[in-house]
Amino acid sequence: MKELRLPIYLDNHSTTQVDSQVVDAMLPYFSEQYGNAASKQHEFGWRAEAAVEAARKTIARLIGAEKNEIVFTSGATESINLALKGVAEAYASKGNHIITAATEHKAVLDTCKRLEKYGFQISILPVDRYGLVSVVDVENAITEKTTLVSIMTANNEIGTIAPIREIGEMCRVRNIIFHTDATQAVGKIPVDVIAMNIDLLSFSSHKMYGPKGIGALFVRSTTPKLRVMPQIDGGGHESGLRSGTLNVPAIVGFGEAAKLAHAAMEEESVQIKHLRDRLENGILAQVPDSFVNGHPTSRLPNNSSITFRFAEADRMMMEMKDVAVSSGSACSSDEPEPSHVLRAIGLNNEDAKSSIRFGVGRFTTEQEIDYVIQRVRETVQSVRDRKVHVQLTH
């Protein structure tokens, strides 16, 4: 058996290890192939451009899009900003109302807050106890001022997969633009922008075994033309939607990651789900007063969010430094606040703060899972014992 290497990484919703095939594909574009993809007059530029366009094609194919519908950005946060602010600005004469949900990533919620300061009206819809937003709630929230609906494909904390196709269809019928943050979904579960009626879709390379600092916004190109106001002006790169010299090595890496995901997804998701279920069932069987958050079936195959009653997650993670997991989302974990997602599905503050997110990945092994189950069991017990001790001596 392979030797167990510590610490064990089970935080694959925060970021993923760059696949070695991705690294190999990127390397030449730092050294020999260093051209600027916008240099039209020489070989260096042509080669860089060819590499970018090949990657664009592979990335488009992964979500069922056309090559010309992919705009490269620095990551999902930027894609989301471009989508939300870009549509809000372009359609300001039509209306000023945007609909989203309480469990969205901060990249969506904080962008909406910013737009609110500029006079836009934001409706933040509640979710049910599994984290699902209802299509009927979205439809009922629409007013004649609504221009945009933004609902995430899969949640980054509890893994719940939204009824995207239905929401998209309803938006299409009502002539409302539909954006989805699919950062956790792309490369993990099938995503098809046509079948799902998606107008705008944000995603990111580093959540799918590619490098950090590169992502994309899908912008539907069919008629009537969707208008998005650029948020970064400059040389008019990316069809004028996002100026700035392209990060060629990162784009090549993103393309390679998309290629690997396309080829491996079906098989890999079965393997990952098997490990996730082993982890979840092992923990639930061995740790009393623990329960799983998120939807029982409509959930990402790699996600497990577990609440350990009477055991604070921060204490657990302090004691369990050989296992890399997260409480809440990485982006908000320096805030002492409990996760807004867990609060939105109805957990009280104490339970929300006693929850840990496990994220299984491509490189996770069964041996690692079995080790983590034991460590979680010991740690919960020790944290709970100490809590009882403290309570008894005070």
Ligand X SMILES: *Cc1c(COP(=O)(O)O)cnc(C)c1O
**Nearer residue to ligand X within complex by CB, 77 or 354:** 77
Identify residues 151-170 at the interface with ligand X (CB under 6 A): 152, 156
Which residue lies nearer to ligand X by CB, 201 or 311? 201
Smaller CB distance to ligand X: residue 76 or 112?
76
Residue 242 binds ligand X (CB under 6 A) = no
> Smallest distance from the beta carbon of 207 to ligand X, in angstroms?
6
Provide the mask over 178-217, with x wherever binding to ligand X is found by CB under 6 A and - wherever it is not. Answer: ---x-xx-------------------x--x-------x--
The sign of the torsion formed by the CA atoms of 72, 73, 74, 75 equals negative
Please choose, out of 75-83, 365-373, 375-383, 386-394, the segment that lies near ligand X by the rule CB under 6 A.
75-83
- Establish if 105 lies at the interface with ligand X (CB under 6 A): yes
| Residue placing its CB nearer to ligand X in the complex, 308 or 358 | 358
Question: Smallest distance, Å, CB 331 to ligand X?
Answer: 7
In whole angstroms, how close is the CB of 370 to ligand X at the nearest point? 27
107 lines the binding site for ligand X (CB under 6 A): yes
Q: Does residue 148 interact with ligand X by CB under 6 A?
A: no
Quick check: 280 binds ligand X (CB under 6 A)? no
Catalytic residues: 331
Contact 152, 100 (CB under 8 A): no
CB of 95 to ligand X, least distance (A): 25
Structure tokens at 303: 């996600």
β-strands 177-181, 121-125: how paired? unpaired
Q: CB nearest ligand X: which residue?
A: 75
Q: Which is nearer to ligand X, 183 or 302 (CB)?
A: 183
Least distance to ligand X, CB of residue 332, Å: 11
- Indicate which single residue of 59, 76, 186, 325 sits in contact with ligand X (rule: CB under 6 A): 76
The verdict on 260 binding ligand X (CB under 6 A) reads no
Task: Give the interface size with ligand X as a residue count (CB under 6 A).
Answer: 13
- Spell out the residues 6+ positions from residue 2 whose beta carbon is closer than 8 angstroms to its own: 365, 367
Q: Judged by CB under 6 A, does residue 150 bind ligand X?
A: no
Stretch that binds ligand X, among 127-135, 142-150, 176-184, 383-391 (CB under 6 A): 176-184
Amino acid, res. 158: I
Which span (51-59, 73-81, 117-125, 382-390) binds ligand X, by CB under 6 A?
Answer: 73-81
Residue type for position 301: P
CB of 298 to ligand X, least distance (A): 16
- The stretch near ligand X (CB under 6 A) out of 51-59, 72-80, 111-119, 376-384 is 72-80
User: Contact at 8 Å (CB) between 228 and 86?
Assistant: yes
Binding site for ligand X (CB under 6 A): 75-77, 105, 107, 152, 156, 181, 183-184, 204, 207, 215
